[in-house]
Each structure stands twice: as structure tokens, then as C-alpha cells.
Chains A and B, each alone.
Chain A
């Protein structure tokens, strides 16, 4: 299946670049180091289990696998979840006829799972991803890695590994562009254009 197109940019204007290609690479490398360091202190003898949240998080999880090895960890297991069927807003707005596959090549039972997402905002996506995990087994622990934490949580969820933290308003959004989706690697802050002032 071809990757889903990124969300439409209609009505949004780029305000500034938060990370460029090198910035993303550096952030991921640092996160991989932190994961290995934390795993070294954990009682779990098994390798990490990286589970990306489709679609952006799944690409980042894939990139993290060799970085964890480079950082001295054993090769992590790579999985991906699609949370569409677990969203609390699945039927708000238009129906969502595209659902990506959930692929967990090994059982999550008793494992340390690191959920990986591109942007952490309200926390609702992560809540849904934890529900998916629970239907596949009972991990020993679930940790959270995000490339961008833009704040404004609506649920009590905090990340364990963060690429970059930024302050945003509700009218702004962080967009992670990835070469896997045919775009240059960049993270940008965008804001909604006031329809009254649009040309």
C-alpha cells in the first residue's frame, strides 16, 4: 500500500522552521542514545520493541532501529500500529475509509515497548495506541518517544524521549515532513490563516 498523503495544508501558513534535515537526524540519534541508556538500567533482558504510530511515527521508528544499534543497544524489534479504529473521534467529521495495517511481528507480552510518534499534542493518539497494545498483550512497560512535543495536552500523558519541545498556541500546528513521504526532511511550525485576512 502506498503511504497515505500527508494532511492537507489548506488554510495553513508556515511560520518558522523548527528542525532541518540535520536537526532531525541529531534529535533521533540523541533519542536512540537515551533509549539504550535507559534500557541498560532496566531489568528487561530482551531488546527494545519499537512500535511506530502510523504513518509518521512508523517511519521514525524505522529510522531509530539502526540508530539504537549504533548507540550500542541490541537490535530492536520493529512494529507499527494504526489507531484509526481506536480513535475517540473516529466518527467526527468525514468517515475514514483508509486504515493502515497493524504489524507486531513478535508478541508484546512482557516486553518493553517504546511507542514512537512524530508529534505529541493532545495525547489522544497515544491513548488510542496504548489501547491497541492492550489488545495484543500485556507489555512489561510502555514508553513514549516523540520527535516534537508541542504541548497543550488534553490527557495525562508525558513522553519519555523527546526530540524537540516547543510552545504552541491552539491556532498553530507542528508538521513533520519526511522523505519517506516524498518531502524533504523538515519540521515546521504553521499557523491557521484567519479567513478574513486571506488574500
Chain B
């Protein structure tokens, strides 16, 4: 019986295939709880989970909150606008104050890469990274891997294309690490302005057009175009982006006949993904959301429970 040998979940880069599989397998079990008449188990009764979201998020925060509550933990949400950070308090001061209230787990989302790791080094609670800048978003990668494994039966040997703004995407990075650790081969595609320098060093195949990237793949993962980055000169406008990099029926037809389409949400319909695909039979986007809660339960379970690992 292998445990989970980590104190925190800061990213997927440091997770082994066995760590990932432990979490994916647990996630399958936790899925069942959502089907019960009483969607709650007493496992984390008396544990406190603080969701510290210093960047806007509805989906991820809600997903963590539901995950904590289904495990009977007490979940407290602190969001950017409501927190003392607007009054000038630093992240570390906020964290120390929270830590003084003895939470068991702090889930943190922050605009700066490395914020979760900084917190983890300074507080006693376990830390879960719910997105730090363009660095990592490990639970998103876990739910994506879980969705892929469910639909494809495996991850090893699959071809996965990740398309869009890879440079600013923590979702892309976390997925690249996790998918590669689990034996998939990964391609990335996007305009040159949206691919980070040296992205090849992550062990991915790089394309500057979407067509060769999706050709023959088992999984197409579309990234959200961050409209707030429109002014930065990364791409001229959303219509042009859709024309050259949006996923439409012709492009999807280049992938394997049974290829599935993932999107981390929120979607810009008609920009990176055509509405007919988003609502079509190949899209597994709502499945991702359902699995998100289960995978976050798995993460809270292995972290909040592990006194023996200290």
C-alpha cells in the first residue's frame, strides 16, 4: 500500500506516475459519493480548509468548497476583494494570520507564480496550489487526466494536443508534466507570441499551426484565450484568432475519429472553440467539472489525513 509522500500539492512537476495514479484512483472512488442520496462522508470531520482566492475564480473555488464539504471538513472562503490584501497586507502576513487560526489545509490561488510554494514554506498547514500565475494548476491537470483516462481507458501511449495561449497557461504546464509522467506524448500549438521560449525543453512537440498539432491525436485540449490580454499585442483580435487557431469541425476532423475535446473553462464560444463542438458529442467539458470535485476530494483526503508523513 503506497501512501502519498508529499506534504503539499504545489504542482504536478514533482509528482511521480505512482503519486498521480494514487490520486486518480482515489478520485474514481470519490465520484461515487456525488451519486448518493446523502452526498457526504464523515472523513474530514473537524478539519478546517481555508480557500484563499486572491484572483477571481468561481469554478475552482466552488469545486474546492464542495469537495471539502462532501468530506465534512469546515470550508472557509476568502476572496481577493474581501480580504485584507486590498488594505495593503502582504500575502505572508495574511497567511501567518490564517495559520494562527490552525487550519489543516490552505487552498491558494494567486496571480504570482511561486505564491503557493512561498506559503508552504512559512505556514504549518498543508497547502494546495489552486493556480499561481502562469506556473501550475495541479488539480486542473488531475481532473483532465482523470477525464482522459475515463474516456480512453488509459493515458500511456496517447497523443494529446494542447492548443492556445500556452505561455500564459498554468493549465498547460501542469498538464504537460502530468501527461508526460503518465506516458502520453504531448504536442503544443499556438501563435509564436503565445508559446514560451524553450517550451521544447518540457519534452513536447511544438507547432505554430493547429492543423499539424491535432492530426491523429486522441485528445484535443483547448486553452482559454484570455481576452484581458487582448491589449498586449499577442494576437490582433478574436475573429482572427478564431480563424487561425480556433477549433472547428474541419480541424477536429484531422484528429482520430474517436478523439475527445477538453477545455478548462470558462469558454469563449466562437473564439478558441466553435459552439457546435463545445456542445457536441466529442466534448467532455462537463465531465471535467464533475471530476474536478472528486479529484479535489482525493487531494484533501491525502493531505489532511497524513499526520504520519511529517
For the complex, is B86 an interface residue (Cβ under 8 Å from A)?
A: no
Q: Which chain A residues lie closer than 8 Å to B26 at the CB level? A: 97, 99
A96-129 interface mask toward B, CB cutoff 8 Å, 1 = contact, 0 = none?
A: 1111111000000000000000000000000000
- Complex Cα distance, B25 from A80, in Å, reads 18
For the complex, is B29 an interface residue (Cβ under 8 Å from A)?
A: yes
Of chain A, the residue at the smallest CB distance from B39 is A135
For the complex, is B196 an interface residue (Cβ under 8 Å from A)?
A: no
For the complex, is A170 an interface residue (Cβ under 8 Å from B)?
A: no
Q: Using a Cβ–Cβ cut-off of 8 Å, how many residues does chain B contribute to the interface with A? A: 25
A69-104 interface mask toward B, CB cutoff 8 Å, 1 = contact, 0 = none?
A: 000000000000010011000111111111111100
- Complex Cα distance, B302 from A100, in Å, reads 16
Contact of A95 among B32, B37, B71, B306 (CB under 8 A): B306
For the complex, is B1 an interface residue (Cβ under 8 Å from A)?
A: yes
Check B307–A97 contact: CB distance below 8 A: no
Check A97–B2 contact: CB distance below 8 A: yes
- Complex Cα distance, B307 from A96, in Å, reads 12
The binding surface of chain B is classed by DSSP as: loop
Q: Which chain A residues lie closer than 8 Å to B32 at the CB level? A: 101-102
B291-310 interface mask toward A, CB cutoff 8 Å, 1 = contact, 0 = none?
A: 00000000001101111110
Q: How far does the Cβ of A31 sit from chain B's closest Cβ, in whole Å?
A: 29
Check A95–B41 contact: CB distance below 8 A: no
- Known contacts A99-B29, A137-B37: does B308 contact A90 (CB below 8 Å)? no
Q: Which chain A residues lie closer than 8 Å to B37 at the CB level? A: 135-137
For the complex, is A131 an interface residue (Cβ under 8 Å from B)?
A: yes
Check A90–B43 contact: CB distance below 8 A: yes
Check B302–A95 contact: CB distance below 8 A: yes
Contact of A86 among B1, B4, B41 (CB under 8 A): B41
Check B3–A91 contact: CB distance below 8 A: no
Check A101–B305 contact: CB distance below 8 A: no
B18-40 interface mask toward A, CB cutoff 8 Å, 1 = contact, 0 = none?
A: 00001001100100100011101
- Complex Cα distance, B142 from A51, in Å, reads 33
Check B36–A136 contact: CB distance below 8 A: yes
For the complex, is B198 an interface residue (Cβ under 8 Å from A)?
A: no
A21-53 interface mask toward B, CB cutoff 8 Å, 1 = contact, 0 = none?
A: 000000000000000000000000000000000
Q: Which residues of B line the A interface, CB within 8 A?
A: 1-4, 22, 25-26, 29, 32, 36-38, 40-43, 71, 301-302, 304-309
Q: Which residues of A line the B interface, CB within 8 A?
A: 4-5, 82, 85-86, 90-102, 131, 134-137
Q: Offer 22 A-B interface pairs, CB within 8 angstroms, sorted by A.
A: A86-B41, A86-B42, A90-B43, A91-B304, A93-B308, A94-B1, A95-B3, A95-B302, A95-B308, A95-B309, A97-B1, A97-B2, A97-B4, A97-B22, A97-B25, A97-B302, A98-B25, A100-B29, A131-B42, A135-B36, A135-B37, A136-B38
By Cβ-Cβ distance, the 9 closest A-B pairs, closest first, are A85-B41, A135-B38, A99-B29, A85-B43, A91-B305, A95-B305, A95-B306, A97-B22, A95-B3
